[in-house]
Structure 1
């Protein structure tokens, strides 16, 4: 393909005359016509000036015997990352991804020079996924920075970073990070195959969109199949543990797989404290999570649906259930809590804390004094709201919420049998869930593993 054919086809694809930020710079290099394509904002002026200064110094004799762009890059290009492009499709993809693309009349092919510099924030500690003793850095929205944060912690020659692009429109850059010999090769093959099969125009909301394409999830199944973290120390620990970490461009969170339900009860601080302290917090986290699911349905069962309550529980039972039935009190409070949460997210930072505190106090005080709600219902909803923050995973928090609502409705309709049947239905539902590796979601309970079961509760000392 001739130089002019290259230009025509690239211009037809990119249409630089219709996009102000796609720059087509015409040059003279060694007396020959040349063109440099790049996106304004992805290249620093100082780097651009250095490249132009070098190119303008080339004489006709310097480039007379160079047949293709690969040889030009080896002999003449004083830049670290430069790759030859052999097709127009590769050139267009390179320009849209950020690198500059150079074409010179009389030299076959094109040259991609990775001069891109994305707008990037500093790697500060994540606001949600915090640690008392851990490092104070976190992932950002740039792929290369995130892989560097992992490399900094894992100086092992077995660490692999496999690069891929997915999505027709967005061409999302991703990296599969794993420790060769430690990660499950079968899971790696499944992951590579499913990533290559993703054939959609764009993946903009990267985390959830990618997880939905990797593993289909029933609409009414709220359990997350992947775990996300914004902490490079936790991601590195998972890689050492034999997990696979999927790093995505434009996302401050990485995806950890394969995972089971038990993985959501293990957090970063487990590895920064003494084993006995970590074991205590892990057990506490699990107990609070179980209580988070069953406490309001169980209270409804004892207060309304069961005639005889043990004497030691009578002190917890309400004398009156209020003007509104207790079931509807819990239901309304569930929606009010979510409403306040949504309002606080969309409220300026200076007012968000005040909104949550004042709104919650005013609404609860008025509802109790008016006789609509009982104080016990307000107290229990305060407990489940705080308990929801014991796990930093949003998806698991909402999964527990839906489980609680499911139990609440069944208990209201069928009483004791509804509560018991709901527990059985939830366990059965989790038994039917499979992870990407094909393993059961309730591992190490199903299939049973003694070592894995003990590690649910105990954090053993490092060997």
Structure 2
């Protein structure tokens, strides 16, 4: 039920105490002061306000002459409050949300509204290059957890009034801010309407995991398909490029990355380095990434098939055969190493930075040398799995890397059970997973391959000039 702000300051103070439990929460501050000749209370969250600005405002409020204080709250805020971002709130629901977001709120006796002064500042880290989305050449800035700074990084790159940034709020408890960034004359209007409606209709308590929670709410498709439905980036230049292409970019407060949609598998595999180098170099990098991506799926299953059928190995490729005694079947060696590699990844993530190097050396010695000498693994198995492990890092998208891993595991299992027919069946299933996956707009995940568009398909592999001239 909506509660309007009353004229009596005591009633308003009592309501604020009931809603916010000010006596319990040490970081919610109630500061009594005089504005003109009237009693007033200033509410703010300690740690979210700029102390110097708030001190100046309090000094100004207390120096106001009584005859200058008007009865109309809007006139008071518009004329007498010497600050850039000032708003008038009429209900306690609005007041509570704004206050807990960091806005300083002033209640004055006799005025049935609240003067909201947005002098907040959030604790944040510096705008530095993302650890995951590094480039050899190009911008070195990256998104942070503060929403307004992220929008400013995009505005800095696209200086046109056609760039729109709509803010929405979702989450009954979290009241999470979500910004939709797009160009008015290029965005897909049906997609924009679809995303806005789904966000506005969300009935969740909070977006606990920020963008992942939002992604699961927006896309209600087949959960068992591991291929990612969204492209994520922590680079403002990549987000700006997506907007200029007519895509929709979603920013979520407290998240240092942007969601770009719709996104096909070719969009997700693109990287900024493809465009920061000349067309020839960019094309080479892109083709290499696609080729290595295919190898990460098929290398170990094809090798397993040849080990199960050694008579199929051509004479010139006999060196790929296992030369030593096999104590554990190759299929189980590959599965164990798949799990071991993920275990080492998780260990590296949770290892303190000053211990990463010595532990990496220990892991390399134990897994690389002693594992072979002990008879658990063969050298050839270690070699191919080492290549696969390193090749996975060629994919900037973490989810795509794991999707390729799951496809590889599927191929390994089917090949071990059904031999060549298992590999063929696995290949068909991989194609089915890709072909049946859909973007959030319902488009093909393999566009422009399906439906085929020769010009666009060529551009996915061969980088062309980026400069577009106009009359």
TM-score by length of 1: 0.97
Once the 2 structures are TM-superposed, how far is the Cα of residue 321 of structure 1 from its aligned partner? 5.7
Instruction: Note the C-alpha offset of 1:220.
Output: 2.2
Distance 1:242 1:317 in 2: 51
Match of 1:24 among 30, 42, 46: 30
- Match among 413, 416, 421 for residue 420 of structure 2: 416
- The more displaced of 328-337 and 366-375 is 366-375
Q: Which residue of 2 aligns with 1:452?
A: 456
Per the alignment, residue 351 of structure 1 pairs with 355
Structure 1 counterpart of 2:96:
92
Q: Give unmatched runs, 5+ long, in structure 2.
A: 1-5
- C-alpha distance after superposition, 1:412-442 (max 9, x if no partner): 1111111110110111122111111110111
The SS at the match of 2:43 is: strand
For 1:150 and 1:337, how far apart are their aligned partners in 2? 37
- Match status 1:156 vs 2:160: yes
Q: SS at the partner of 1:61?
A: helix
1:133 corresponds to which residue?
Answer: 137
Count of matched residue pairs: 461
Whether the aligned pair in 2 keeps the contact of 1:344 and 1:353 (CA below 8 Å) is no
Q: Which residue pairs with 1:399 in the alignment?
A: 403
Instruction: Report the Cα offset of residue 354 of structure 1.
Output: 2.9
Distance in 1 (alpha carbons) for counterparts of 2:165 and 2:71: 33
Quote the offset at 1:323 in angstroms.
0.5
Confirm whether residue 433 of structure 1 aligns to residue 471 of structure 2.
no
Query: Once the 2 structures are TM-superposed, how far is the Cα of residue 10 of structure 1 from its aligned partner?
Result: 2.4
* Of 56, 60, 74, the match for 1:54: 60
Give the 3-state SS of the residue equivalent to 1:153 in structure 2. coil
Counterpart CA distance in 1 for 2:126 and 2:191 is: 33
Match for residue 110 of structure 1 among 107, 110, 114? 114
Which moved further from structure 2: 319-328 or 269-278? 319-328
Matches within 5 A, 1:239-250: 239-250=243-254
Q: Are the equivalent residues in 1 in contact too, given 2:269–2:396 (CA < 8 A)? A: no
Q: What SS is found at the alignment partner of 2:25?
A: coil
Give the conservation status (yes or no) of the 8 Å contact 1:10–1:91: no
Offset from partner CA, 1:123-165 (integer Å, 9 cap, x none): 0101111011111111111001111111111111211111111
Matches within 5 A, 1:232-381: 232-305=236-309, 307-320=311-324, 322-381=326-385
Aligned counterparts of 2:404 and 2:134: Cα–Cα separation in 1:
21
Contact 1:179/1:239 (<8 A) preserved: yes
2:3 aligned partner: none
Contact 1:150-1:236 within 8 A present in 2 as well: yes
1:2 counterpart residue number: 7
8 Å Cα contact 1:292-1:388 kept in structure 2: yes
Match of 2:218 among 214, 229, 234: 214
Partner of 1:14: 20
1-structure distance, mates of 2:294, 2:430: 12
1:220-259 Cα distance to aligned partner (Å, 9 max, x none) = 2211111111111111111111111111111111111110
User: How far is the alpha carbon of 1:358 from its aligned partner?
Assistant: 2.6
d(CA) in 2 for partners of 1:66 and 1:97? 27
Structure 1 partner of 2:74: 70
How far the C-alpha of 1:18 sits from its partner, in A, is 1.2
Match of 2:51 among 37, 41, 45: 45
Please say if residues 183 and 243 of structure 1, whose CA atoms lie closer than 8 Å, have aligned partners that are also in contact: yes
Range 401-410 or range 449-458, more displaced: 449-458
RMSD: 1.3
Contact 2:7–2:111 (8 Å) recurs in 1: no
- Per the TM alignment, residue 320 of structure 1 is displaced from its structure 2 partner at its CA by 4.1
